A and B are shown apart, each in its own frame.
Chain A
Amino acid sequence: MTGAPTPDLALNALLDTQKIAPVSDLLQARILAQAKQTPQVQTVIPQSIAPKAPANDRFQIGFGKIAAAVILCFGLGISTWIFQTQTAVPAQDLIWQEAAVDLGVDEIYAWVEGESADVQSTGS
Chain B
Amino acid sequence: MQTAQDPDADIITGLMSGDERALSELMRRHLTRVHRVAARLLGDSALAEDVAQSVFLKTWKMAPDWVPGQARILSWMLRVTTHQCFDILKKKTPIYTDDVPEVEDSRRSADRKMIEDQTAFSVQQAIKALPDRQKAALTLSYYENVSQKEGAKILNVTESAYESLLVRARKSLKATLLSDSEFAAPEFLTHTDEKEERQ
Contact = CB atoms under 8 A, between A and B. Distances in A.
A32 B24 contact: yes
Given A13-B189, A28-B24, A20 B177 contact: no
Contact of A19 (B28, B32, B101): B101
A44 to B, nearest CB: 5
B39 A20 contact: yes
B63 A27 contact: no
Contact of A20 (B40, B63, B189): B40
Contacts of A20: 35-36, 39-40, 45
Contacts of A31: 23, 27, 31, 52-53, 56-57
Nearest to A27: B49
Instruction: Give the interface size class of chain B.
Output: 35 or more
Contacts of A27: 31, 35, 49, 52-53
A19 B45 CA distance: 11
Contacts of A36: 20
Contacts of A38: 57, 60-61
Nearest to A22: B32
A9 B170 CA distance: 11
A14 B119 contact: yes
Contact of B65 (A22, A32, A34, A44): A44
Contacts of B186: 2, 4
A11 B53 contact: no
26 contacts: A5-B189, A8-B170, A10-B174, A10-B189, A12-B142, A14-B173, A14-B183, A15-B123, A15-B138, A15-B142, A17-B123, A18-B40, A19-B101, A20-B35, A20-B40, A23-B52, A24-B49, A28-B28, A31-B27, A31-B57, A32-B20, A41-B61, A41-B64, A42-B64, A43-B65, A44-B65
Given A20-B45, A21-B45, 11 more contacts: A4-B189, A13-B189, A14-B177, A14-B183, A15-B123, A17-B123, A21-B99, A27-B53, A28-B31, A35-B20, A40-B64
Interface of B: 18, 20, 23-24, 27-28, 31-32, 35-36, 39-40, 45, 49, 52-53, 56-57, 60-65, 99-101, 116, 119-120, 123-124, 127, 138, 142-143, 170, 173-174, 177-178, 183-184, 186, 189-190
